[in-house]
Amino acid sequence: MSTLVTPFTDKRMAEIVEKVQNGVRLSVEDGVYLYQTDDLLTLGQLANEANLRKNGKKVYFIENMSLYFTNVCEARCAFCNFRKDQGEEGSYTLSGPDMIDYVEQHIHPGVREFHIVGGHNNHVPFQYYVDSLRALNEKYPDVTLKAYTAAEIDFFTRISGLSIKEVLQELQKAGLKTLTGGGAEILSDEYRKKMRVDKANVDRYLEVHRTAHELGMRTHTTMLYGSIESYEDRVNHMVQIRELQDETNGFMVFIPLSMQPKSKNASIMRRNSAYEDLKTIAISRLMLDNIDHIKAYFINIGPQLAQVALGFGASDAHGTIVRERISHAAGALTPEGLTRKELIWLIKGAGRIPVERDTFYNEIQVYE
């Protein structure tokens, strides 16, 4: 039975409510309307119902650690403040032993995943990226390697001369278990041209994940919203992910990433509103009916809003992270990480059940 309270909902919203409650897939037009409506509470309740049907009151998190082997990058995406040129002040490229030294200084008991992304550094060969994973895998065999974006995989094909499949197979031999979701930005080639996203195009991003799924990997996927894209661009992005999921069933989670300004001192008007962030979480849940989890990424929207998002369709609170760098190289004002206790507190405060998980959403411990 529905728990929605919608006595003043307009006819268009009522039609969408009926669709969702009867398992009818939403169209692009439906998604755009949901962005246009000011009926945030009905939208949130509808997304909450959809999530409760999938996940009950469980909200997942993981003990993980973000690692960045290099910030040297050939790409010059308009929104990125992380990248550096080779030799520029602040640039770095760590070896496997260098990274192990860093991990030894910062790792905490219970970490079960390394989240690894970085720049497209064409001053080192593909073998460097393989060896980086192998060094970690040999030192920490019980920690899952979630490494590289689809855009990085595409970059590796160019510097190695290998196919997508061959690149992934070489990385799997070194210990790779899953791909991160980054590099998607907005899946529109027009957007990518305007924002100087001079890395994997839309087809290549999707093909990398398709190939990974064919090789038996389950992966993550993202959407970076809040710049020049239209509502229709966002919804079309979700639909392309939904269509690939229909084909492969390889995505575990969708992660909406709220765009950060390039300065911590940026005006509030340069940031996405809480209203927009909550809408995007909720619409993601409703459009992506074939993906189990929507993540509330506290790094970009803050812990408090991430907590509220658990009532707007999100079922994943991400992880401990330890020290996030990409969003914080720009204007993120949030913590660089949270502890297990803080994540449990955050989830329980939303009236939900915290579940510590592994990378693949196998339950490690339920905190009733």
Alpha carbon distance 201, 154 (integer Å): 9
Q: Return the amino acid letter for 363.
A: E
DSSP 55: H
> What distance in Å separates the CA atoms of residue 148 and residue 136, rounded to the nearest whole number?
14
Phi and psi at residue 361, to the nearest 5°: 65, 20
> Do residues 141 and 100 lie in contact, with contact meaning Cβ atoms separated by under 8 Å?
no
**Distances from the Cα of 200 to the Cα of 35, 90, 257, 329, angstroms:** 28, 26, 18, 22
Helices (H) and strands (E) in the chain, counts: 15, 11
**C-alpha distances in Å from residue 306, one per residue of 58, 79, 261:** 15, 23, 19
How far is Cα 34 from Cα 39, in angstroms, rounded to an integer?
A: 8
In whole angstroms, give the CA distance from residue 10 to residue 30.
13
Contacts for 246 with CB less than 8 Å, ≥ 6 apart: 290
Q: Looking at residue 271, what DSSP letter applies?
A: S
Q: Is 80 annotated as a binding residue?
A: yes
Q: Is the dihedral of CA 282, 345, 264, 297 positive or negative?
A: negative
Q: Which residue type does 220 have?
A: H
- Does 73 belong to an annotated binding site? yes
Q: How far is it, in rounded angstroms, from Cα 203 to Cα 196?
A: 17
Burial 108-130 (b: 16+ CB within 10 A, else e): eeebbbbbbbbbbbeebebebbb
Residue list, annotated binding site: 73, 77, 80
Q: Would you list which residues are annotated within the binding site for [4Fe-4S] cluster?
A: 73, 77, 80
